[in-house]
Each structure stands twice: as C-alpha cells, then as structure tokens.
Structure 1
Amino acid sequence: MNDSMAIVADRWMLESRQLVNWGSYNGYHEFRPSTDALAPVTLLAGASESGKSTLVDAQISLLYPTGTPYNKASNSGKSERNDYTYLRGMAGINDSAEGERPVYLRGRGDDGTPHNIWGAIVDTYVNHSDGGLLSCAKFLYLTTGDGKDGLRRRYATWNRKIDPRAMDRYRDVPFTANMLREMYPECETYPNAETFHAAIWHIMGLSAEACRLLHKIQSTDAPARLEDIFKQGVLDVPEAIAIARNTVDDYERYHENFHIMEEKIKRVGKLRAIQNLYGEYSAKRNELGEYRRADPETEAGEAAITAWAISRMAGEIRAGIPAAERAIEDARLRIGQADLRIQGLDAQIDAVRERLEGLDNGNLLRLKNDLQRARRDREETRVRRQRLAARFERTSGKLPTDETSWDDMRAALAETARSYDKRRAELDSAYEELVARRAAFGEERERLRRDYERARRQKSRVTDAMADARDLIARATGLDAAELPYVAELMDVKENEERWRTAMNVAYAPIAQTILVDRRHEAGFAAKVSAIDPTHMIRRTWRFVDTRQTHDAKSEEGWLSSKLRYREDSPFASWLKTQTASQRYDAACVDAIDDADERRQVQADGQIKSGAHGFHGTKGMTPVIGFINETYLAQLRERVSRKEREYADVDQRCGQAKRDLELLHDERALADAVADMPWREIDVFAAEKLVDELKTQIDRIEGDPELKTLRERLDELARQRDEAGRTRYHAQADLDGAQKAERLETQWLASHDDGTFDESTIPETVSNRLAGAYEDACGIIGDRKERPKHLAGISDAEGKTPFAQRVVRKLENVMGGQITRLSEQTGEKRTATEQAMQSYLEDHAADDGIVTASVNDYQYFLRELSDLDMLVTRKTTDEEYANSVEKLYMSLQQLNRSIRSDEENIGEQLDRINDMLKDQKFGPREGRLALTVEFGKPQRDFAQAFGAILTKLDDWTQEDRDDATATRKAF
C-alpha cells in the first residue's frame, strides 16, 4: 500500500491564517475561514486593492512549491509581487527625476530612519478525522539596507497553535532556528522551503502536483477543453513533462539561491575588508592617542617630555657624584707623586748640563737646531720641485736643471701669459663651432638610424614624423595604421625605370604625404581627430576614397605614370592609378624639356615644366615614395655609415680642441705659480748639501766619548722629566675636571630634581620611544661614564644651548615627528576604511540615508558582518553547488528515461480503455468506440541540446566531481 494512502483519509481544514506585515496587512491580522462540517466555504469579496489576492498569495508563499507565481488575478497579473515586496508593503510606483521608484509602507520610521523589518505567515489546520492540530509558519526578516537578495526565511511546524507575535522580542536581530525552538518548545524547524514543504505535504497527504493543480484552478488556468481534461484526467500528463518542469523549477530555485549566496559571500568579503581596515585604523588611532600625552605642541605634552627627561638625567647625574669624588682623591694623589719625581730629575739635569757646557761651549745644541731646520727646508724644497716637475711635463716639457735656464723659462712663461686672453678666445670659438657641428651630425646620424630601422621594420619609406602623425590619427579613430596608408607607400617606379625615381618624387610630391581613408569611415572621423592636441602632431592631409568604386585608369606610354608599379593588394590601388595618370600630376618623361611643348614635362633630375610654370630643385625634400627593397636598405646603411664616419671625425677634433684649451689653462696657471719663485726654492741639491755639512760638523763633535756619554745621559733625563711633567699635567687636569664636575652635578640636582615625577603616567610604548631617542641624543658622548658631567653642563659654552636642553629638544623633535607620522597614517587608514564603507553602502544600502560612510558608524558594518557570517561560507557553497548539479543530473537522467517510457505507458493505458470499450454499444445504432493517440517525436534541437548536456554531466561526474571551479561551470 502506498504510504500516502490510508483506509480513512485525513480531513484537514484551515482554522486560522495569521499575518504579520504582509502586503497591505500592516502589523498583526488573523483570518478565520468557515470550518463548518456541512458548508466549509468562505467567500472573499471586496473592491480592487482590498487585499483578496494578498491573502491568497500568502497561501502560495507558505504552502505551494518554490517558484509558483503569485495570483494572476491581482491587477491583471502586472504588479511585481514577491516575498520582498510583500514584506516591505509595496504600495505603488512613483515617477521622479531619478526615474521610477517603488513606494513602500514599511522599512523606515516616521523621521525617515531605516529599521529592520520582520513578518510572518502562519496557517493552523485542524484534522477533522482525529482532532489533530498542525501549525505551519514562515518567518521573514530583512536587515536595514538589505535588498531582495538579503531576505532571510525561517520555517517551522508545531502541533499547537503558533502565535507569531511572540517573535517580536527578537526584532533587532535576524531570526534563527534556535530562537524559534526557544519560543515554541518542541517545534520542528527546517533549513529551507523544500524540506518544509515535504514535511507538511506528507502530513496532509498533498503533493507538489496537487498544489500546482490547485494553483491553476485558483489562477483561472485550469484545463477547459474536453481533450485537455481527458489527457490530464484519464491518460495523465506524461511523466516527462512533470519531470522537465520540476527540473527547470529546481534549477531556477538553485540558481536564485546560489545567486543570493554568492552575493552574500561578496558582501562578507567586503565587510571583512572593512573590519581589517578599521582594525588597522583603530590601532593607529589608539597609538596616536598614547603619543598625544607627550605632544610637544601642547603645554601638558611638553611638560611631560621635560619631566621625563629631567627624571632620567637626574638618575644618571646622581649616580655620577660618587665617581667624581673618587676621581678627585685619585688626582690629588697622582699630583703629589709627580711633584716629587720632577724635583729629583731637575737636580740631575742641572748637574749634567754644567759638565757639558765645560766641554763644547754649547755648539752642539746650536748645530742640532740648525740641522732640524735644514731638514725641514729640504723636504719642502723636494715637494715643491716634484709638483712643479709634474706641471712642466703637462705644458712646457722638463723642469730646468740650473738657475739660468730657470730664469729663461720664467721669462718665456710670462710672455705666454700676456697673450693668454687672445689665444683663449680663439680656442673657445673653434671648440664651440666643433661642438655645434658634432651635435648636428649626431642628430642627423640618429635620424638616419631611425629611418633605416623604420624602413627595415615597417617596409616603408615614410619619415618618423609621418608615421607618428598616422599613429595618433589611428588611435583617435580606432582604426589600424594599416587602414590609413600614405599615397607614398602604395606606389614606386618599376625596377627597370630607377633613373626616374627623382622625377617620381618631385611630380607626385603634392599627394605623396596624403593619408587615404576608406569612405566608410568618414562619418564622425573629423570629430574623433579633433580630440588630438594639434600641437603634438605635424599637419597632415587625408582623403576619403570610395574603395567599392571601380576606376578606369590608363597610362600613356612615355609618360611618368607608365613607369610606375603599385601595391595591387591595396583597396586604394585602382583610385591611385587614376590619380597618377591624371593631367594634374602625370608628366611626359623627356631627356630635356622642350620650351615649345605645352604638355606637362619632367626630366630625370626632377625639373618640371607645366604650361607657363617651371620647377627645379630637390634640396630639403625627403623622398618618401616607393617600396622597400634590399637596394634601398643598402643605400640607407651607406648613408648611416657615412654620417657615422663624419661624426667620429668631428668628435675627435672636438677632443683635441678641448685638450688644447686645457693645455693653455695649465700654462697660464704655471706662469702665475713661478712668476715670483727664485731658483733656491726648488734647488734640492743645495738643500741636500747643507744638511750633509751640518751632519758632518755634529758627527765630529759627538765623536768625543765623554761628550757622547753626557749627551745620552741628558737626553734620557730630559725624556724622564717630560714624562713626569705630562703625568703631573694630566693629573692636574683630571683634578680640575673632577672638581668642576662634582660642583656642577651637585648644583644641577639642587635646581632640577624635586623627585615628584611619576613615570607610570607615560604609556610604556611612549616611554620606550623616549628612551630610544634619549640614548640617540646622548650617543655623542662616547663613554657612558662621562654622561653625568656633560648633562650637568661641563661642556656647555657661553651663548650656546646647554647639552641637557639640547637633549630635551631632541626628544621633543622625535615625539613631534612620530605624532605627525601617526596622524598621517591614521588619516590614511581612516580614508581607506571610509572609502571601503562608501563602496559597500553604494552597492548594498543605496536607499539608507541614515548610515554614513564614517568610522563613527562602524558598528553598523560589524553587525552586518555578524549577521551575514552566520549564513554563508565558501565551503558550504561549494558543497551545495556539487549537490545541486548531482540532483539536476539525476533529474535529467530520469527525464531521459521518461521520454522513452511515457509513450509505452500511455499506449498501455489506451489498450486497457479500449478493452473496456470493445464490448460496449453506443447510440441508437449500437456503434463501437475506440480511442487512438498520435505521438510526436521530440524536436531535433531539443534532442541535440539535451544529449549534449547529459554528456557534459557524465564527464563531470567521472572527472570533476571534487573540482569546485569545474562544478560551478557545469552548473
């Protein structure tokens, strides 16, 4: 027995329909139809727009399969009706300057502030067979700013009456299944409409087909003809049609659901980006707030920095006082020891000197002093001579070797200096002329190189300027450069007529640089070209040509046009042949012009005579007409090589001219240097001789053994005396410094350190930054032990900023710079965050006039993210895509089988009917009745498309079932 059948059928009757915010039913309403056992009929009557269809559409939304259209009787079925417009209470359409805008009853308060909307449809049914009760509920929720895609639906059934008004307590957040179970204990909740319908249809003995048939009856779409009634009621509609409709309905439902899910995923991505940006902005803002407590631009911040610095300095100075006291005692002890040592050494030195003076009368000391001076003079003379020798080698050759040649050289250099200005002017003029020629040759060389590369690459003789102008026109008009040829690119002299190339370039020069344009592009061409800045393009001429028109061109033998060949694959070739053979441009080719001949004539060298006018000369004319061949390229290469040789020659001459100028400058400088320099200042040999003579005299005196011993003893005692003196000096300096440091440190602490600063008032991050800046500022004091006395002012100079104050200023500068950077970074983060917010609002909350793209409204976006994050995940979406494709694949396979089996089933049904009719007699003549049916084959286009879809889904099932991208493509 079928599970949906029973011995005694259930008899479910609608007892109550409760509506909350559904269409024109604003707030809560309850409809109670008749449940009378004998006459359970309720008539809905009323004027147009009184809510009849709205009440019926609630049943369609709640009970019928997803995708069932709303009541067609409503306004002739023209109004847009769906769950979203019913929940918002769409009242009509208004025309405004921005176009048609819907008018809604709900979604904004009296002051225009948008708010969340919720609604509900609850049907309560009573089973008159066993007294059972069934409530079917559909709750709708729309968050502020959401459109149709953001509508949330929740489904529930309960064996008691559901009062939807109880859910109003949750109006500020989207409804969840847990909320429904909490409010209606032991109720059943459903994740989607499909599972909800399956449950209630099973309970009430309904099916999707029954609901659709009922919908047809309600919507005046029921079968009317006897044939249709027979097909649907006796033979039954072919199963394939029902499966096809269900499959299409399933696909549309899946597609709509996926579209909504994808949109929500995109919204979640945007909201997460806003969340991350706001997090970065908030962190920077908080960090900036901490640094504001040490802002040198404010009185409190400046005081905080100063107090922090004084506290840190006071700690170092306080620790430095005991060290200064120990340094004082140590210096005093070293001074006493040094004084005793010096007294003993002085006595010994005096005794040795008395003995020495008795032996050499003091000559040795004098000679040694002279030797020291002579050695210094010798070194200075050697260095001076070496420098002059190098300068002479660069200018006049070798340095003179005696005083006479030296004086002659000085006189010659002085004479050279007197003509310096004249020679400098001549060399400058020659050098500037050569530089100008080199620049001109360089430009010409580069132009020739470009011409060669362009000709080799583009197979064209046109210049760079011509090609650039054409490219500008091509970009402006959207055409390809190949569609805009120059006349010069479409023609050339025949290979055996090369001697007439110059004549061709002269005769056809007026049209050679004309751009040809197909007349089909004429419309709008001028307007597009007007967009080009005229200062960026040389003046060009173009001509529109009807390429579809055939031109009859004939060249007369002996005329210039007969010596030409053309690019025959060009659509402009026919027109060009006509032009080149025209009276305006063509000319008779002659070896010498005949003045008596009135025809237009041209010589091979380009001279033209046309009537009373004559023309000659090609200077400055660029020959651009012709095709590219190896001979032409070889000519271009030769021109490039020739210009490179000319450039190299003038470059070499420029270098020589520059060296001549430098030599002249060196000669002048040398003349100035030796003008007042006597020979003795560079006579190294005389200086060497004097040193040798002094050394000889000293060696003779020091040869006395006794004198030598005494001198060595005196030197040793003097060394010891100097060492003791240095020791005493350093000790005294240490004492003075230590005493001064101790005095300054004590005074500094007395005037600055009051011990009231609490370092905890400065945030740890700011304190660490101050500490780093403090170490940097004090880093100029290499030894950390020396810091206290410098902080106390031992190195401060009058009129200069004290060191301690410079440290404080350094801290203020660092804090000011850090705050400026943080302010800029905070502003950038805020701008980025608000731009993301603005983009989100434009896309998803354009009608929301209250929420702004401001960090002050961040909580709105956070609530949006929280609401949406619970609804969608990428993994779930991928799984749903795979499940949906698999279900559709199964449905299509079932459809494929049904197409083949439906004909057999209908045939068997007709056979059974005909068996029943064959023994029956009809009418007064007792006639016989038999039924037949004709089956049409599926349309060919349908069969091919259907087969292709099945093949693709077969491949997907076998190979791409786990590939998310392939699954979405298959869907």
Structure 2
Amino acid sequence: MSARMNDSLFGLIPAASDGRQWTAHSMQLVNWGGYHGHHEVRFSGGATLLSGASGSGKSTLLDAYIALMMSHTTPFNGASNGTTSGRARGREQRSVLSYARGKVDESREDGSTSSRDRVLRGDGVDTWSAISMTWTDQSGSALTALRAWYVPRDAQRNEECVVVRATADEVFDLRRLEDLAPGRFARPGLADAGLSLFDTDVAFATRLHAALGIGAAGDGHKAMQLLGRIQAGQAITTVDALYKAMVLEEPETLAVAQRAVEHFDELAAVREEMLTATRQVEVLRPMIGLRDQIDEAAASVALLDGLGAAGASTGGGPTPFTAWRDARRLALVRAEEATNRAAHRTAQERRAAAAARITTAEGELDEARAARTRQGGDAVEGAEREVRRAAERLEAVRTARASLDSPLDVLGRTVGSEPELARLQREGRAFVENRSERAASRESATFAARQHASDVGRRLAALEAEKESFSRRRGNVGAEDDAARCALAEAAGLAPAELPFVAELLEVRPAYEPWRDAIGTALGGFATVVLVDHARLDRFRSAIDSVDLRRRVRFEGAETGLPLADDADPATLPGRVEVKAGPFGGWLAERLDQRFDHVCVDDPGELSRHPRALTRTGQVSDGRRGAHGGGRRASVLGFSNAARLDTLTEEITAARTDLREAEAAAEEARHGDAAETDRVVAYTQCLAVAWEDVDVAGAEAALAERTSRRDALLAGSDVLQALQDDEERIRTRLTALYRERADAENQVQALAEQWAAITDLVDEVTDAVAQADDGPSVGTAEQTARLDAALDAVLAEPATSVAAFSAATHAVVRELERDREAAVESGRSARAALGALFERFCDTWPNPNLGTDPEASYADFLRVYEEIEHQQLYQLQERWSRTIGRLSGNDLTLLNSVMTRSVAEIRERMEPVNAILSTLPFRDDEHRLRITATVTEAADISSFRRALRDLAADPGEQTAAQRTRRFDRMARLIDRIRPDSPERRRLVDVRDHVRISAECVDLDGTHVSVYDHIAGKSGGESQELVAFIVGAALRYQLGDAGAARPRYAPVFLDEAFIKADARFAGRAVGAWRGLGFQLVIGAPLDKVGALEPHVDVVLQAVKDDRGRSRLVTLVGAPEPAPATALR
C-alpha cells in the first residue's frame, strides 16, 4: 500500500487529507412528481433551506435526492410522513412510478369499488422522468450523476421500466435527454451524449463513492445509509436510541446467528431424515420374519404334499408315506415272525416231553389194570372205564368253561344256562360285525378328547395370565391394551397413570349395575381410548412414533383441570355413570354429554322417541341409524377390578375342574381302544362255544353217578380197593400229562396258523418295500423324520404289533392333514401381514416405484430395507454426528465469541467519535460532549450466554441418548434466535446489551452533566445534541475524520429543527457547519423565521391549481455556475 493509512471504525482512511471537498451545486428534475418538465435547484455551499406548505413539493425534492443516491430499500418521505407502511417504495408508498407519472390523487371508478390514480402525465401514454445532481470542488471540477426512467403506459412495477444510471465529469443538462426518450434511452445515444453508463446500482454507487470520496476502502454504502437515516430524521427520545439508530450498524452477531440457525435447520433435517430412516427400518424389520414364515409354510406344505399320505388309503402308486409305512410294517412283521418261530419250537418241545411221560404212565397203568384183573376186577374195570370217561368229560367241560369265563369277565357277563349263552352269542355276532364303524368313531372320539383337553388347558392358561395382569393394576382393560399403554408411557417418559383409559375413569353407579354391559357396548371403542394431556400431545406424538406396537392404541388430547359437574340426568347414559375426579374428569364429563347423551329406555319401542337412546340389551339408536350386538365381552368399565378378579378366580377354579375331567376323558378314550379290542376277542371266543361243552354241572352229575356205581363194587374187596387206589393215582397223573400235551399241541397248531398269516403278510410287505426301493418313492431323511414325529404325536407308547401300527397310521394321516391346513393358514396370514406392511409403508412414504404385492414387491422392499439399515442409516448417523459437532464447535462458538467481541467493538468505535467531539465546543468554549457505553446484560441474556457457552463446549464422546438430549437443548436455544422469535433481537443484537448516554465534561474531562433522555431537553438543545453526536459519527463514516473538512459535504435534513427556537436552531446549524458539512434543510413555513438567520439561501416550493410545483427564491442568491458551463 503506497500511501500511509490509518485503521478506523469504518475502513482505511488517508493519514493526511488534501482538503478537497465536494459540495452539491445543483439538482435537476425532469417530470418528477409535481415538477412537470425541466427544473433546476441551485444550492448554497453553506446551508440551504427548502420550505413550503404541506403538499407543495418540498419533500418531493428531498425524495429525488434519495432516489438518486440511496439504495432502493430506502423509503421515500420518511420524515414528513411517519405513517408509511408496507414495502419500501411499494404500492402502499410513494415510488418511482408515482413520481414519474406525477400522481396527484386517487379517484373511484364509476360503478366499481377499485380506485384509479389521477396523474399529471403518463395516463394511457408512455412518459419519462430524470433526476441529476452536480457536485463541484474548490478547483472548479464538476461531477454529474443522473438517473432516468422510461415508463411504458402499462408499467406497474419499477422492473418494467427502462432505467438509466450514468455519470459525466461535467455539468450535464437533463434537457438533452428529451430527444433520446422516444428511443427508450438507447445506449448508443446516451454514450454519444458523453455519459458513462452503469448496468447495476452497485456499479453506479461504487463510481460515485470513489469519485466523491464517500467512505473508505469501499464502505461508502455505510455512509450513505447513515445519511439516509439522518435525512429521514424520525423523532428519537433517548441518546441510546439515537446512537443505535443513527450511528451503530447492524452487528455481525445477527448474521452469525442466522448462519447458526441455518446450520441447525440442516442438522434438524439430517435428524429428521435419520428418524424417518429409523422408522422405515422399524416398519420393514418384520418383513424378514414374515418372509421366513411364508417360506417355512410353503416348505412345510411341499414336504407334506410330497409324503403322499392323502391318497395312501385309496391305493395308487407307492409314495414316501407308503414306503415309510411298509418299512415300519416289515420291521414289525419280521419281529412277529421271529417271535412265532421261537414260540413254535418251545411248544413242540413241550409236546414231545409230555408224550414221553404219557407213554411211561400208560405202561404203569396197564400193569395196574392187569393186576386188578387177576384179582377178579372185570366188573370194577367196566365201572372204572365209565368213571374215567365221565371224569375226562368233566375235565374237558371245566377247561372249556374256564376258557369261557375269561372272555365273560372281559364282557362283564355271566352265563348260567343255554338260553343265556344263545342271547350272548347273538349280541357278540352283531358287535363283531360293526367293529369297523366303531373303530372310526373311537379314533374321532379319542382325537376330540385330546383336543378338548388341550383347549381347556389353553383357556386355563389365558385365565391365569389375565388374573395375573389384573392383580398388578386396578383397571379392567385387557392385558394387551394395558401392555401397549405401558409401552407408550415408557417411551414418553410418563407413568401409566398419566395416560388413563377412558374406561378407568368411569364406573357404573350401583343403582344401574344391570345396565353395565349395555353402557359398555354403547361406549364401544371410546372406552379404550387413552387420554393425553393436550399440553403434552406434540411431545407425546414425537416420543412414541418409533414404538413398534402389535396392538393399535387410539389416544386423544384432553384439556386438564376443567371443573367436574355431577348434574347429568339419571335417565341418560352420562347420569348412570360416575366420572372419576382428577385432571381429566371435567373434560370426560363434557365429552360424554356431547357424544353419548343416550336416553336409557326399557322398551325398544321407545328408541324412536329420542334423538339417541339405549336399551338394557345394548341396542342403540342415533336418529335413523342404530346398532345392536357385540355385548358378550367382559366389561372394561370401573375404578377397580376387584369384581373381575373374583370372577376370574371362579372361572379358573371351574377351568381346572374341566381340565381334570377332560384329561380323564382323554385317558379313558385311550384305554377305550384297548378295551374295544378285548371285547371283540371275547365275543369271538364266546361264538365258538356250545352249551354242552361248558355245562360243568351236568358233567359233574354224570361223574358222581358213575363214581357211586364203581364205589359200590369196590366196597366188597380190600385188595381191589388198594389196586384201585394205585390205578387212580396213575390215572390222575396221566390226565395231567394228557392236558399238558394237549395244551402244547394247541399252541403248536395256533402258532402254525399264525405263521401262515405272517408269511403271507411278510410276502406282501416285502414286495411293497422292494417296489418302493426300486422306484423314486423312497422318502428322504427329512420326510422320514416328519413321519416319525407324527407317529409319536398320535401314540402314547410305541406300537409293538402290526395291528396297532396299522390303526396308528390312520391317525397319522389325519394329523398330517391338519398340519398341512395349519401351514397353509400360516402362509396365508403371513402373506396378508406382509402385504399390509408394504401398504403401510407406501401410505406413510409414497413411492411410485414400489408395489404392495407380498411376492412381487418383496425383493424391492428388501433392497430398500438393506440399503436403509446398512448404508443410508449409517451415513445419516455419521452426518448427524458431524453436523452437530460442527454446529457446536463452529457456529455456536463463533456466535459466543462474536457477541463478546461486538460489545467490545461498540466501545472501541466510540473512541474516534469522542476524539472528534473533544475538538468541538459544546454549549460554550469550556465544555465538550462525550459518548459513553455501559453494559446492561439482563438475567435472560446472561442465562442465554451461559447456555450458549455450554453448548459451544466440546462434549466429547456421547451416547445416542446424550446426543438427543443435547440436540433438544440446542433446539430450544436456536428457537430463541430465529428471525420470527420475539427474543431474537434482544438476545443476539448486542446493541441492546449496552446503554449509550452522552455527558458534558469540562476541558479536563471532569463530568458536568449527563444527557440521556433527549425528550427531556428543549427542542433546540435536543437538535444541537443530535447534531454533535450524529455529525461526529458521520465524519468517521465518510472516512475523513482526520481531514480539515469532510470530502463529501452535503447533508439533507427533512423536517429538521422543527422544535427549535432561533438561538438553539442556530447552535444546531452551527454544529453541523462547524463539522464542515453543507446543509440542505427541509422545514415547514412556520420554522423559516427561526432558521433564516442561519442559512444562506431560502427556497420555497409552491404549487398551482393544476398540481404543478416550482421553486421560488426568498432569501439569498443561488451559487454561480461552475467553470464548466452547461452543455
């Protein structure tokens, strides 16, 4: 940097000034407001007073300066009309368009409520307007800046006009634009006229600021903003307000706070994306389990269908089921075959041993008979033969009777005569013939008994679970609803009692207990609505949104603390229930009166007599609508569930009794199968018996008669008697041997017959197994295991015979059919749930690329789920962590430091202003004016700064819950500094954190008096105070505080010094002029006398009857034309 510069409040300024100063020489107007055609205003180099009656055009001239020099955001007529509102230069205020057309008034169009502007020009035709100002310096150099507008007839906005921005290094006559206007100010013509053109307001202002020395280092716009505020001159009552409004600019803290808000909104958006992704993952997570359920169901159906059990009973080809069945049968029949052969060998051995002993015994008997014959025992021999035959007959009959007694014991019957046996055999024949039908019935009964026992067991478990749930709480609402309510309460950080069900707040009055079910039916789903304090409703909704509930819970926000009135009509539903006193009592009573004011009637014929009515059975009427039924469920109403617990205790006791009976019935059914088989065998044995073969009494009588005859013969000889006794002993032993041989023979024969049947069955089953082994029907290990499991399910103990196994296979088939139905239903329900899940996702987050078919769309949803869970959610969490760290680490830290620095800068910036004021006499030559600042940080600001510092500090490693709590704290803080927050300016605008005052000091700096409230001073004193404070600040804003005079001198003051008398007005004007400024003062006519002695030129604006304005010189003479003549 070639020239030495000093660092000042508003930029870099020359350390030494060349004393050059630009003053406003003249202003030209063409078609501006009431100034129709061309007008020129010459200014004095010292002070010029513009006066005039209200509406004469005085402020129009001052607004022309604003239009030329200020930003488009600076409103017109700021001082003379303090009631302006709306957007600066908008339709509600004065604007370039209204000035260019010369708006005079507004009039209402005939037959319309709309108004129309009355204008001096441009009514239905194009027009144009222009403003220029020429400045000169001590050397005679001149600079002219101008703006011109070509206004089409239908233009409604400034943007629809052709705008010219230009400068000339000479005095330029605006009348030269007259010839260029018809061409809409074509650029070549303007250039030929010697004008330098600028396309933007920024480029135009930059040129003027650089040429006229306004500001330093490109900060001319700040100086112009202060000039605009000075010109507006609104009434200010305190030094604090004056300094902040006129001198201090908007601090950097507002922009930093806005960036923090924007970054936080970005953080909130990331968090919302993250929460949305989390909710989407929670919604979609069950889809994998449902898909597995569908696949498992399909696999189960395929497995069961592949077994081929359904058609096994109707023949057909071999299947895995028949292969498994035949393999099991073959194993059982092989085992029976081996058992039969072993038993057959044993029976043969017994028969052979008995035959050998019989041969020996028969020899002994022959010898005994021979000895008896030699002793003359022929007659006795004959009698003995008769006795033997009778004894053998009796033994055979007893054996047959013993064989009959066993099946009779099974049947629980006795047979004492031939007719009784015939009757038993008729029953047995019928029983055996109907055995197949009874077998099917028994199997069904056995299955039904087992199923009933299972159902009773489940019902008992449900009752016990329900009782356990009710024992932990006081309400009567179901366990699933209560569990869902508790989950929501936990997520929201509330106690379940703070989220009551409506039913828990209602109790049927004792006098109307018979109406309990009807009232519960009428209330319907409203009874299970959860009530939430309406003040917590938004937070509650946010807290529970991620909770995954299988049970849908309805809730409603309710006002708390409303008075509870107990004046409902007992003839209506609200009058027959008692509302529990508490936070929600008043609201609930009102809601019952509004929605459930049913009249309770005993006769359904009375329903139509009332707008709403209710019968004891639960039928409701609502005008022409009605409803009935659904009242068999347990009532959920009541403050206490003691009655419900008593009922459950009784039901559990009854259910336990039912379970014992059901289990006994199932056990009896299982034993009934074996008893049935025993009865069939018993009846079959009875059918094979003739009465004479089992008539023991008859055989005993025959034996007794023959024995008596023999004994008579033996009574005459002792030798014969002895021989007879020997023979009798041998015969007894021989009889036992005969019996033993017969039993063995019978067993051999039975086993042989059984062997023949077994052999046939072995051949049959072996062929079936061989056929299965040769074909594709051999079951897999999975199929075999499935069939084994089904067999174990239907058998209490393993089958050891082919007959038992054959009976069990029928039950296996039915079990497999039921399993298939269950698998089909499981797949269907899972498919429906998956479709509902997809629909819920699409309803919540519409996506035209996603369908809802559970089969066709599953892959798309799985891709979405995996992308969210494994990629997007992770990325969002990373962004969330980075953004929250950046916000706290950068934005909040910067905001905290900028607030601290900005407060210090306010004080620092006062130093150069006070340096200027120290050179200017205030009140007299012995006193000076000094600006002071006092920090006034209130409690709310201190707490805000403290929270800001806490959040700006590095939190270190945090859990997700800690980050969420930190985010919530940050959200509360950011909400306080949002643009729409009423606290924003107070908290962030550090100008409000200090109190500005002025004090009068002597030459030694000793305090003399303080100036705080401007309104407490006289009009002149206040104007002088304003001039000193604002003038000194302006010198620094213009960037040449160290020069003898400001480089840019013009200061326009609208409605200035209106409360000052001549003496104080002179002091105020003197202050401005002492600071080296050129004044252009706008004041009403009644202040001309006070200001005239202190100005060089007095101009008055006047307006004629046509609404056209012009200027008249009252005092002084205009400045002579500069050396460069008008061109």
Same fold (TM over 0.5): no
Q: TM-score, normalised on structure 2?
A: 0.32
Task: Select the structure with the greater relative contact order (CA < 8 A; seq sep ≥ 6).
Answer: 2
Q: TM-score, normalised on structure 1?
A: 0.37
